[in-house]
Amino acid sequence: MAALAAIFNFLALNLVLLIASLPVITLPMAVNAATVALHRWRDEGEDSVVAEFVGALRSRPPLRTTVLIGVPLAAAAVGVAEVHHFIRGGSLTDRVYLGLGFGALLITLMALGYVFLLTAREPGWSPADLWTVCAGLAIRNALVTGPLFLIEIAGATAITLIDPALLLLGVPLLLLQLMKLTAQFGLRRAGPKQAP
């Protein structure tokens, strides 16, 4: 029965995450609420994940959450568009811009896990402090957690492109959980002096 309850909670939380993300502007708030619900479910044993999701969605200030999480998500989207644009160019300048864009995209993608984890744990961050800490953690842990973040994101993207119906079976929530675990590992690895 516990396994069935866990499967139901996972699928229900994934479904409300997808529904809340349908209008693109609410994606940062939905991701944050799902991360909070995951944190309370796994770390605190709170079993009513949909109620936790709705509670987190209502209790967190929408504009603040959108800024804290939405800006790094938008930066990742801009990075993907930039890499896509410059990959087609053949000049030396295009190659330099491609390298710079690819580096910035990698750091942004590696920092997203820390952004999700830290905003779920402590919503009181100022945007500049949060982004600075997360980028620092991403750079500091680039050789250890960086590849893990990239494998998680690439795997979820590939699975979704192969079969979009898998979005309904938990790919977004699984990606959030894996990124949360990787970010926790990165925070432990950074040590108490370097972690926030």
Whole-model pTM: value is: 0.85
Task: Please report which helix (H) or strand (E) contains residue 110, including its range.
Answer: helix 92-121
Q: Between the CA of residue 31 and those of 75, 82, 166, what are the distances in Å?
A: 16, 24, 18
Q: Which SS3 state, helix, strand or coil, does residue 51 take?
A: helix
Report the candidate in 136, 151, 152 with the shortest Cα–Cα distance to residue 186: 136
Q: Could you tell me how many residues make up the chain?
A: 196
Q: Between the CA of residue 75 and those of 68, 81, 193, what are the distances in Å?
A: 12, 10, 28
What tens digit of pLDDT does each residue of 85-112 get? 998 888 889 899 999 999 999 999 999 9
Instruction: Indicate the pLDDT class of residue 195, thresholds 50, 70 and 90.
Output: low
Rounded Cα–Cα distance for residues 53 and 168 (Å): 17
